[in-house]
Amino acid sequence: MKNTLLLFLLGFSFVGIAQDSYSLTEESKLTIDGTSTVHSWTVAANSISGKLTAAANAPKKILFDVDVAEIMSERGPTMDNKMHAALKKDEYPKILFELKEVKSTNILVGSLTIAGFKKDVEIETEIVAEGISIKLTGSKKITLQDFGMTPPTAMFGQIIVGDEVTVQFDLVFVKD
């Protein structure tokens, strides 16, 4: 009888900590907003992928990446090439985020790797779980020089990109 009760309690405890896997959907969006000495600009990440593991609809693990070559502007190839060079696209083709912890109900703490430079960041995030999906929405200001990047210039240094950009994201993960 004791063995049966022990097996029942062990089995119940494993059910209580079950985790679900989720994959990033195509409806997810990530943009980067910045400024220059001439105009404001926005670029879109056209190729993003990610996995999320959750327990009781709360993120426990997130692995997320952005394909640098697919970050594109509406201003054409000159801006794209300068941006890709600043991000060191050939050496580091991906921007990576890995969740370390959920600090509170809306603060994600993780490591962000841009242009080969890894840094811990805190990101204020709205987390909404509905049915078979988990949606993460928020923004994060990033200083380019904090990630070893020199802000791009154009027109012989007459146009200079601001050192601070804002990454905005609307990520939708659906249960596998």
Q: What is the DSSP string of 87-132?
A: TTTTT--EEEEEEEEEEETTEEEEEEEETTEEEEEEEEEEEEEETT
Is residue 76 assigned to a domain? yes
Q: Greater confidence, 17 or 53?
A: 53
Q: Greater confidence, 158 or 82?
A: 82
36 falls in which pLDDT band (50, 70, 90)? confident
Is residue 114 assigned to a domain? yes
* Mean pLDDT calculated for residue range 71-89: 90
Per the prediction, the chain carries an average pLDDT of 87
Is residue 37 assigned to a domain? yes
Comparing 50-64, 117-131, 138-152, which segment has the lowest mean pLDDT? 138-152
158 falls in which pLDDT band (50, 70, 90)? low
| Structural domain boundaries, residue 38 | 19-175
Sign of the torsion angle spanned by Cα atoms 158, 164, 167, 168: negative
CATH number at residue 25: 2.40.128.110
Q: What is the pTM of this model?
A: 0.85
Is residue 156 assigned to a domain? yes
